[in-house]
């Protein structure tokens, strides 16, 4: 009982009473408005996160600048693919994203899967935690709130969450995936660009397998 059953009970208890409950649920825009909702958390080092996402077919995204914004418009008009199109800055824990990745959709620069990650200052089971906001860019247009050129995101953020978890598993970088129910309440909202989102409320918690890879920054 002491060496088998009780440790299993405590392990299950901490999974249901995780410090992840203390985390914020939604990012913020630079002017303090609600941004994209969080829907995934990766547990592992920065090298493991970068290695896993790269192995799963994700590319690092460029920072957004005037030049990169113009490039988005030009690429969209001429249907020119851009595998490293920039993502706008969203904020969590008082800072912009630490890492951002994307997957293009064919040769269409107007559509892409993308995710931002922020490292938490707390540990989960003695390992770093990275909160992610994964969305699908459906089109390029003008923001409903700022009038700036931006990607408009699709409402189904659960599909993007599940996509990342599944691709990391397929790439062989996952120890296990667990779920935190009712992480998001309410189950729908709008981001800083005015685009709607909806969710079943669950946070995917992906525990990455330990890999010996050098730390590097996209």
User: What's the whole-model pTM score?
Assistant: 0.77
Calpha distance 122→198 (Å, rounded)? 27
**Alpha carbons 56 and 123: distance in angstroms, whole number:** 24
User: Would you state the pLDDT for residue 140?
Assistant: 61
The reported pLDDT for the residue numbered 174 is 97
d(CA 72, CA 12): 47
The model's pLDDT over 127-184, given as tens digits with 9 standing for 90+, comes to 999 999 999 998 665 554 555 556 689 999 999 999 999 999 999 999 999 999 999 9
Least confident window among 6-20, 43-57, 168-182 = 6-20
Q: Per mean pLDDT, which range of 53-67, 79-93, 190-204 is the poorest?
A: 79-93
**Residue with more model confidence, 31 or 131:** 131
**Tens digit of each residue's pLDDT (9 = 90 or more) over 142-152:** 554 555 556 68
Average pLDDT, the chain: 82
pLDDT band at 194 (very low <50, low <70, confident <90, very high): confident
Residue 8 pLDDT level (bands cut at 50, 70, 90): low
- What is the C-alpha to C-alpha distance for residues 129 and 135, in angstroms, rounded to an integer? 19
pLDDT score for 153: 92
Residue 210: pLDDT over 70? yes
Q: DSSP state, 19?
A: G
Residue with tokens 């935190």: 180
Residues 6+ apart with CB under 8 A from 54: none
What are the structure tokens assigned to 37, written together? 């909702």
User: Mean pLDDT over residues 45-53, rounded?
Assistant: 96
**Per-residue pLDDT reduced to its tens digit, 64-83:** 545 544 544 555 454 454 45
How far is residue 87's CA from residue 172's CA, in Å, rounded to a whole number? 27
Percent of the chain with pLDDT over 90: 56
Q: What 3-state class would DSSP assign to 156?
A: strand
């Amino acid at each position: 009982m002491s060496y088998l059953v009780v440790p299993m009970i405590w392990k299950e208890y901490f999974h249901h009473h995780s410090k992840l409950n203390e985390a914020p649920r939604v990012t913020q825009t630079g002017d303090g408005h609600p941004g994209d909702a969080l829907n995934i958390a990766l547990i592992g080092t920065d090298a493991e996160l970068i290695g896993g996402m790269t192995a799963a077919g994700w590319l690092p995204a460029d920072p957004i600048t005037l030049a990169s914004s113009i490039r988005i418009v030009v690429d969209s008009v001429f249907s020119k693919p851009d595998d490293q199109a920039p993502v706008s800055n969203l904020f969590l824990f008082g800072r912009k994203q630490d890492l951002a990745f994307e997957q293009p959709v064919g040769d269409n620069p107007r559509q892409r899967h993308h995710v931002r990650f922020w490292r938490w200052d707390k540990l989960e089971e003695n390992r770093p935690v990275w909160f992610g906001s994964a969305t699908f860019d459906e089109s390029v247009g003008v923001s409903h709130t700022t009038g700036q050129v931006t990607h408009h995101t699709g409402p189904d953020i659960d599909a993007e969450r599940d996509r990342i978890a599944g691709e990391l598993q397929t790439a062989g970088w996952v120890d296990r995936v667990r779920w935190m129910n009712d992480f998001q309440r309410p189950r729908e909202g709008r981001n800083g660009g005015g685009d709607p989102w909806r969710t079943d409320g669950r946070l995917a918690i992906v525990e990455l397998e330990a890999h010996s890879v050098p730390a590097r920054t996209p």
